[in-house]
Amino acid sequence: MVQGGYNAVLTPPDSIDAHFLDTLEGGAWINDQELAWTLVNEAPGRVLELEARYGCFFDRHPNGQVHQKPFAGQRHDRTIHKGDLTGIEIMNRLTEQVWRRPSISAFEEHRALDLLRDDGGRVSGALLLDLRRGTLVAVSSRATLLAMGAGPRCTASSRAPRTRRRTASPSASARACGCATWRWCSSIRPGSSCRTRS
């Protein structure tokens, strides 16, 4: 979750080109440049969307202009923030948007364990663990998106596993990679012995 804030070009003298260059330099030039270009171009629109459409309220100058602070490796004051709790602001507002849409079923306190596949080997859902009940839940779906974050606890080069206080979340274990690359098929299918949802 973003803590300090996130970067977007809003006003001159800052520019998309400068943000792009800073992003490449910050990534020691190993970034996927197409992705970095998309990131810097999309960022200003996302700020407007978060504020105007989803109700995020970022810090502002007295004249109403969005406040942008200096932040790591950026040549301009570019970081939009809400104090040092920017991620909480974004997540709270987006969570509200989820709750107000009855068409979305949210599974709180569930962990994804594996992907489910149909007889043709295509992903057809996911196997979840209901942490409160200790039961398995098979969810069938037409599309499955893995958004489980990165895995600093998995890599020997990361300081996170040795000094656990540096790990933002105990779930930062690249479970998505495990789901995507683990056994090519699971013996559990939607409709078998566990609870099923779609």
Ligand X SMILES: Cc1cc2nc3c(=O)[nH]c(=O)nc-3n(C[C@H](O)[C@H](O)[C@H](O)COP(=O)(O)OP(=O)(O)OC[C@H]3O[C@@H](n4cnc5c(N)ncnc54)[C@H](O)[C@@H]3O)c2cc1C
Q: Give the footprint of ligand X on this chain (CB under 6 A).
A: 1-6, 111-112, 147-149, 168-169, 171, 175
Contact in structure between 138 and 130 (CB atoms under 8 Å)? no
Shortest spacing between CB 70 and ligand X, in angstroms:
12
Q: Which of 80, 68, 145, 142 is nearest to 112 (CA)?
A: 145
Q: Name the token pair of 198.
A: 């779609």
Nearer to ligand X, 18 or 91 (CB): 91
Q: What is the DSSP string of 32-48?
A: -HHHHHHHHHHHHHHHH
Nearer to ligand X, 105 or 171 (CB): 171
Shortest spacing between CB 7 and ligand X, in angstroms:
7
Shortest spacing between CB 65 and ligand X, in angstroms:
20
Q: Which of 76, 173, 188, 71 is nearest to 137 (CA)?
A: 188
Secondary structure class of 19 (helix, strand, coil): helix
Shortest spacing between CB 93 and ligand X, in angstroms:
15
Q: What sign does the dihedral 8-48-168-181 (CA atoms) show?
A: negative
Nearer to ligand X, 64 or 143 (CB): 143
Nearer to ligand X, 138 or 148 (CB): 148
